Structure 1
Amino acid sequence: MADDAPTRYEQLAHDMSQAIREGLLKAGDRLPSVRDTCQRRGVSPSTVFQAYGLLEARGVIEARPRSGYYVRAQKRPLRATPLAAVPRPEATEVAVSALAFEILESTRDPKVVPLGSAFPAPHLFPLDELTRAGARAMRRIRPEQITTALTVGDEGLRQALRRRYALQGVPLAADELVITNGAMEALNLCLQAVTRPGDIVVVESPTFYASLQALERLGLRAVEVATDPREGVVLGDLQRLLDQHEVAACWFMPNLQNPLGSLMPTPAKRALVELLASKGVPLIEDDVYGELYADVRRPPPAKAFDQAGHVLHCASFSKCLAPGYRVGWAAAGRYAQQVLRLKMMTSLATSIPPQLAIADYLAQGSYDRHLRQLRAALSAEQQRARRLIERYFPAGTRVTLAAGGYFLWLELPGDIDALELHHRAMSVGISTAPGVLFSADRRFTHHLRLNVGHPGDARVDPAIRTLGQLASAMR
């Protein structure tokens, strides 16, 4: 959750972007000079430079030496957006774990270019600051904290999270929040709390493969709902599935969906929550990428519109602050007590030291500054990767224009087998995540998810070029 209002430079960048979108500033137009903007907006030169730098990183403007800043020509991408899937309306038994283990194990070698990994580059995170925060926290720890934090989690961290929720307009009940071993434990606990073996769960199409693994482990059946690459779940299709099936739960990622990077518009999130509440169907909301938005303001979660307690909101620090610390949480609404009991019966508690380290780091007040830097770096890298894909991949390739995060979803020409492309790429030291991982019935045979969150890695550009050449050769 965003802890502060947009900075002056972010607001200025937002206003400039709005002017460009509305046609007030056109491609090739020169932006007002730094001096003029300072006078008009009453801001400092550093604020203007930061705003223009942010717009340049996003590919909206370009700097010309000794001339100033100009609106960049936003030529329509050579690669169109992938088409929305048309999944089958029937429930499907899930069996993806064997394939997932095979492919993901192949990405662990540090010599392999990690385009198939799930995490951005480690150097993007403030690991030294977190280490110092952990040392400070452990010096101050009181013996009673070891036992009082069992199951629900450290009270200081829970209070910090509740504050961030409140500032986003999502007040939580005092006993609603449970700290977990990463978001995956939170999501699994929530899934167990609202389903029984054999139940039907609606997932997006494509969907994050870990959700399919969770369904497989619990003996649940999946029904996939059409998901637009730009705007997320298609509500009309969801309505039809709810009328056709007895659905136990939905597992969706409304903010920056993995693998699409789609962002449900705020009115659609509200309508989604209202639709599910009218049917009494719980929504398990996976919001692990919500802090990695590319715009000025954090998009609200679906939880913001939950009046009946049917939204079980799950997130973590793994993708935005502390990968490997495994600190996540669930705000499970009316199901909080079931989730708490399941937590107690399975892992009992989440490790105290990483919780205390993160709580101390949050108290230092630098988290939102870190997030701004992280978002700018990922946004710039995503723009760069799209340009390389447009240049080197075969004609007919479609690629998402994600609203943030660090994934790109590619739809290759229909005669290219993405799994075979993955194997060929691995033979030259490049990992990918082929589309068959992201569907219960393995439908995305010529699709590919690429992780482009590796700024500064000199291997990435040549790897994307090589991958495009391999794909072209398969035609």
Structure 2
Amino acid sequence: MADELQYTKEDFLYAQVVERFEQQIGNNTLRAGDKLMSLRALSKEQGISLSTAYKAYAELENKGIVEARPKSGYFVKFAPAQYPKKLQSGQPTPAIQKTEVEDMIRLVYQTMRRDGVVRLSQASPSAELIPAAKLNKAMMEALRKSPTSCTQYEEIQGNRDLRKQIAKHAFNWNGNITEDEIVTTQGCMEALVFCLEAVTKPGDIVAIESPVYFGIFNVIKILGLKVLEIPVDPEDGVNLEYLEKCLGEVPVKACLFVTNFTNPLGISMPDHRKKQLVELLADRQIPLIEDDIYGEMYFGKNRPKTCKSFDKNGMVMLCSSVSKTLAPGYRVGWCIPGKFIDKVITNKLMHTVSSATPTQAAIALFFETGRYDLHMRNLRKALHTQCLRYIQAISEYFPEDIKVTHPNGGYVLWIEMNSKVDAFELFESAIQESISIAPGQIFSTDARFTNYIRISFGSPYNNNIDKSLKKLGELIWKFSQ
């Protein structure tokens, strides 16, 4: 196992070369069409082997930034200057006609499961990115190690080995917790439900971001709670100034925000803004439920912090899972509910008694052996490459007036189209071409994002994806007329 996790000096050298080229292309020192030095020249100048030089150029080529021309060498293919315009702050006009958002959500889910459909609407890892064989191995090892073959109930608070691993992993976001502060759940959504029930009662008002993942406002509605939507800035995340103004006028009982790589925008709140948010709510004794399910999918060198990183009095309730990173079907999630842990444990006891024993034990072992960290390094690299390729295709195939977020992690792109385009009508036309997208209307309670769509880059870029994005671009052109 140790050999599997080792990285050579050459691995780091090639990564440094790739990063330097990306910086030069990013600041327009190198422009589209510029010829790069030969492999031999790069090897000599950087003091690296020919194989390392080739590996660096191959990585840039995989990202779609560089292209190899037969008998000519390597050239810059695509630069950030060619990207579509960035999405700007500001709220879209509310929909004129009232639309049943629940019906739209149901239709999106039903149609994307059809055979042959390209699922650009699914914000989760494709099967190709999941280490199924290693997960199977971890499951078998966990069953063999268990004296009861994982057939008995787990502790109410959750598998202790898993909680220990989650506590250790919290080091990545500056967390300083123990296994006794963690409660495992059946996925992140159950964690959110337990936390909401712990700090609210039917009729209370909960602040959420807008746009927001539709599953969140559906849960809030089912619990009998009311929603206050807070606009999200494409650069800074939740609009804290707007939130502060609302808190002075509305009796908000709790806030529920996705602060890292939010769905559907794919952007993160800067760490200093997270600190401001925690302090703003702490002063008013308002609990913050933080959905950090995408926090591990960062493209930079360091994982972004969480709001929980700045929590000094237990008012932040962090929720997460491995559903978006490793195994959606395992339904392994958790929460770190701070001062509300006793209420959360009581809620879990009433709802589920305990979480599934085999999957918790398998994921605990996957963490312990280092397989999770290795998998995440590979996944982040793949997602970053896929993100770049999807944006490049969008810039080539979609109308010039579209705007798109430029995420630094996660799975999704949030795209603003011409105001003439109705996103749900576009969805209906796209599904006839076996292409599933997420129309903007399903990301608010009143279907207001009528000319926005969300596209996931969770699937590796291939000819099928390319054709689908090209066809989608043609449909958008048609609706824009």
* TM-score normalised by structure 2 residue count: 0.88
RMSD: 3.0
Aligned to 2:12: 8
**Which residue among 286, 292, 309 is the counterpart of 1:287?**
292
Give the conservation status (yes or no) of the 8 Å contact 1:25–1:71: no
Give the conservation status (yes or no) of the 8 Å contact 1:316–1:329: yes
Task: Output the amino acid matched with 1:153.
Answer: G
Distance 2:14 2:193 in 1: 36
Sort the Cα spacing of 1:48 and 1:256 in 2 relative to 1 into closer, same or farther, 3 A.
farther
Aligned to 1:392: 397
Distance 2:150 2:393 in 1: 51
Aligned to 1:37: 46
Aligned to 2:191: 186
Aligned to 2:355: 350
Give the conservation status (yes or no) of the 8 Å contact 1:38–1:48: no
Distance 1:276 1:114 in 2: 38
**Which residue among 199, 202, 208 is the counterpart of 2:207?**
202
Aligned to 1:224: 229
Alignment of 1:329-340 (within 5 A): 329-340=334-345
Task: Output the amino acid matched with 2:158.
Answer: G
Give the conservation status (yes or no) of the 8 Å contact 2:411–2:456: yes
Give the conservation status (yes or no) of the 8 Å contact 2:122–2:458: no
Distance 1:177 1:47 in 2: 43
Distance 1:306 1:14 in 2: 37
Aligned to 2:85: 80
Secondary structure of the 1:357 match is: helix
Bigger mean CA offset, 228-237 vs 198-207: 228-237
**Which residue among 108, 112, 120 is the counterpart of 1:107?**
112
Distance 2:419 2:215 in 1: 26
Task: Output the amino acid matched with 1:211.
Answer: I
Bigger mean CA offset, 412-421 vs 356-365: 356-365
Secondary structure of the 1:300 match is: coil
Deviations 1:303-345 (A, max 9, x none): 1111111111111111111121100110111111111110110
Alignment of 1:131-280 (within 5 A): 131-143=136-148, 149-280=154-285
Aligned to 1:470: 475
Task: Output the amino acid matched with 2:24.
Answer: I
Sort the Cα spacing of 1:74 and 1:207 in 2 relative to 1 into closer, same or farther, 3 A.
same
Sort the Cα spacing of 1:21 and 1:387 in 2 relative to 1 into closer, same or farther, 3 A.
closer
Deviations 1:401-448 (A, max 9, x none): 111222111111001100011011111211111001101121101110
Distance 2:18 2:202 in 1: 48
Number of equivalent positions = 466
Secondary structure of the 2:201 match is: coil
Sort the Cα spacing of 1:136 and 1:397 in 2 relative to 1 into closer, same or farther, 3 A.
same
Give the conservation status (yes or no) of the 8 Å contact 2:426–2:476: yes
Identity of aligned residues (%): 36
Displacement of 1:64 after TM fit?
A: 6.2
Distance 2:301 2:64 in 1: 15
Displacement of 1:119 after TM fit?
A: 2.0
Sort the Cα spacing of 1:411 and 1:380 in 2 relative to 1 into closer, same or farther, 3 A.
same
Displacement of 1:203 after TM fit?
A: 1.1
Aligned to 2:346: 341
Aligned to 2:430: 425
Bigger mean CA offset, 48-57 vs 99-108: 48-57
Is residue 2:14 matched to residue 1:20? Answer: no
Distance 2:123 2:371 in 1: 25
Give the conservation status (yes or no) of the 8 Å contact 2:105–2:442: yes
Q: List alignment gaps of at least 5 residues for structure 2.
A: none
Distance 1:209 1:68 in 2: 48
Displacement of 1:394 after TM fit?
A: 2.4
Task: Output the amino acid matched with 2:12.
Answer: R
Distance 1:381 1:130 in 2: 23
Aligned to 1:299: 304
Task: Output the amino acid matched with 1:143.
Answer: T
Displacement of 1:449 after TM fit?
A: 0.5
Sort the Cα spacing of 1:13 and 1:291 in 2 relative to 1 into closer, same or farther, 3 A.
farther
Displacement of 1:143 after TM fit?
A: 3.4
Is residue 2:128 matched to residue 1:119? Answer: no
Secondary structure of the 2:86 match is: coil
Aligned to 1:364: 369
Task: Output the amino acid matched with 2:105.
Answer: A
Deviations 1:347-405 (A, max 9, x none): 11111111111112222222222112111211111111112211222232111111122
Task: Output the amino acid matched with 1:338.
Answer: K
Give the conservation status (yes or no) of the 8 Å contact 2:26–2:79: no
Deviations 1:15-47 (A, max 9, x none): 6278538959543484782343347xxxx7766
Sort the Cα spacing of 1:326 and 1:438 in 2 relative to 1 into closer, same or farther, 3 A.
same
Secondary structure of the 1:267 match is: helix
Bigger mean CA offset, 8-17 vs 340-349: 8-17
Distance 1:353 1:67 in 2: 55
Displacement of 1:289 after TM fit?
A: 1.1
Distance 1:275 1:236 in 2: 10
Deviations 1:212-238 (A, max 9, x none): 111110111111112112331122112
Distance 2:54 2:316 in 1: 41
Give the conservation status (yes or no) of the 8 Å contact 1:95–1:213: no
Distance 1:102 1:23 in 2: 43
Is residue 2:319 matched to residue 1:314? Answer: yes
Distance 2:14 2:288 in 1: 32
Give the conservation status (yes or no) of the 8 Å contact 1:203–1:250: yes
Secondary structure of the 2:296 match is: helix
